[in-house]
Amino acid sequence: MSTSLPKSFTALEPLAGAWGLPTQDARQTKRRSSSTAELQEFYDAIVPLLPDILSHVDEFPLGELPPDSLRLYYMSLALAEIAPHIELYRGDPNVPHSFEEERFIAVNGQQPG
Amino acid sequence: MTESSQHRWAEKYPELGQGPIAVESCISEDYYLREVEKIFKTSWLYVAREEEVAEPGSYKVKRLAFADTSVIVMRGKDGVVRGFHNICSHRGNTLVTETGEETFGHSKAAILSCRFHGWVYGADGALIQVPEEERFYSCFKKKENSLEAIHTEVWAGFVFINLAAEPGQNLHDFLGDYGTHMGDYPYADLSHSYKYHTTLDCNWKIAHDSFAEAYHVTTIHAGSFPNVFSTGLSDVQLFGPHRTCAVCLNMSAEPKPVAALAQKHGRGSLVAKGGSAMLPPTINPSGREDFAFELSVAFPNLFVHISEGIWFTHQFWPLSTGRTLWEGKYYVRAPRTNSERWALEHAQLLQRNAWLEDTQTMENTHRAIASGAKKFMNLQDEEILIRHAYHVIEQRMNAAEQRREQI
């Protein structure tokens, strides 16, 4: 996997190692093991760039992102994972009042993408 | 909207009564065994989508734990989808080695070969090859040792099986007006799926009930769907043992920044208002502007929900009196761009979280009911689908047992 990001997004580099994760299961695990402050830091850093990220990834056909862009895309999918926790759950890294997440099996959770 | 009665559904369906419902049926071992025999082993049950066995030679094996069997659903070279018990005629090994609740495979030649001793069957179930056949005795006939067929029929791309030796009705008649109501929707066109499952320590009906009303949305979904859905139902209709209604949007909530961007880039969330281009003319007969999705139940254990660009199912498989396999499957149109793919991911994760909220109460409810401290549950008018479910189960089991007594 790439260890860099496309040029316009190098500001996100300090967060890319932690959040540029290729599977839904990995992003979910990362969210659940993060603190509220870590979720907020990631959210605050990436949300202003999100419209540009979505424009950037659409310069490539679906599923044909070059390695740097793919790493950036994984970060945006990690944002999809954590956004409800900032926008709806007051920063709680878990879904409040929920069933045990580790017992809830995502059939495709280990597939990259 | 004009002021409607607070008891409109009871007035529409007075035969269901208004009294409390006994909870004994959720914890009684005897009642569970009767349900398995009189309902699950005689009803049409959804086990696969046609797209899952799209090509000749494609097959899916699904476990049916309540009946201690698994069904192989396979498409032949003639295009027909057939069902068989997953057991080899030789010494009873599973013909297809299963890897979990659902196992998928494909055979280019459209055959199945048992890995124990290499017996080979066609997609029509016929035993076509037995290694060292000459060493079996003259009483052994290949044509008498086909796979055990299971009645299999298809409605709107949903493959159903029926374990009865002779089902009382074909699938079309079993679904009846429900099939007409829900059939004309482009299920196959929305093939991008997200699937979840878990095993719950609760009776299957408790799991069913938790999804069969919108009364819970203000409390249970205060996190994921704040001020999103109305608690009352719209256009409740009962079709024999099946049932349906519409759930409507509250539309007072403004999406937050990331949610708003997701809604802009793709239709994947029930939270946003959708159009009605895909919906059959039978849906939303009141023409409500705030229509969100149709919530329907095909008796006994399948929920089918449809909305513009989104459909999803819940299914509840009884494993024992107090254990249930729940499966949630969410379908949207395959994304065409990376940004749309991102938007669908956001929508689906929020839906997953809502399901995590839904499943939270089920085990607690079962455990509390099992205490025996309360003998009844109390249902309000907007919980009419739950009342109907208990009514139908009781009615069907009694009818089956009366028929048996007459014989």
Rounded to two decimals, the pTM is 0.96
Show which of residues 321-360 on chain B sit within 8 Å of chain A, judged by CB atoms. Answer: 335-339, 341-342, 345-346, 349-350, 352-353, 355-360
B335, B349, B360 ranked by CB distance to A99: nearest: B360
Looking at residue B251, its pLDDT comes to: 73
Least CA distance to A54: which residue of chain B?
A: B339
**B103 and chain A in contact, CB less than 8 A:** no
Dist. CA B232–CA B5, nearest whole Å: 12
DSSP string, B264-324: HH----TTS---STTS-TTS-TT--TTEEEEEEEETTTEEEEEETTEEEEEEEEEEETTEE
- Amino acid B183 reads G
> Which portions of chain B are predicted below pLDDT 50?
1-2
* Res B1: pLDDT: 43
What are chain B's domains? Answer: 8-29+176-402 (3.90.380.10), 45-166 (2.102.10.10)
pLDDT digits (tens, 9 = 90+) for A65-90: 999 999 999 999 999 999 999 999 99
Residue A105: its chain B contacts at CB < 8 A? 196-198
| CB of B94 less than 8 A from some CB of A | no
A1 interfacial to chain B (CB closer than 8 Å): no
pLDDT per residue as tens digits for the range B85-141 = 999 999 999 999 999 999 999 999 999 999 999 999 999 999 999 999 999 999 999
B41-70 residues touching A, CB cutoff 8 A: none
- Are B99 and B127 in contact by the 8 Å Cβ rule? The answer is no
Distance of CA A22 to the CA centre of its chain: 9
Cα B387 to chain centroid distance, Å, stands at 19
Determine the Cα–Cα distance for residues B251 and B272; give it in Å rounded to an integer: 8
| Residues in chain B, overall count | 407
Query: pLDDT of chain A along its 113 residues, tens only?
Result: 788 999 999 999 999 999 999 999 999 999 999 999 999 999 999 999 999 999 999 999 999 999 999 999 999 999 999 999 999 999 999 999 999 999 999 998 998 88
Tell me the residue length of chain A.
113
Record: contact B337-A51, CB cut-off 8 A:
no
How far B314 CA sits from the closest chain A CA (Å)? 14
Nearest to A15 by CA among A37, A40, A45, A36: A45
Under 8 Å between Cβ of B350 and A84: yes
The predicted pLDDT at position B2 comes to 46
- Residue B322 token pair: 């107090």
**Bridge partners of B64?**
B69
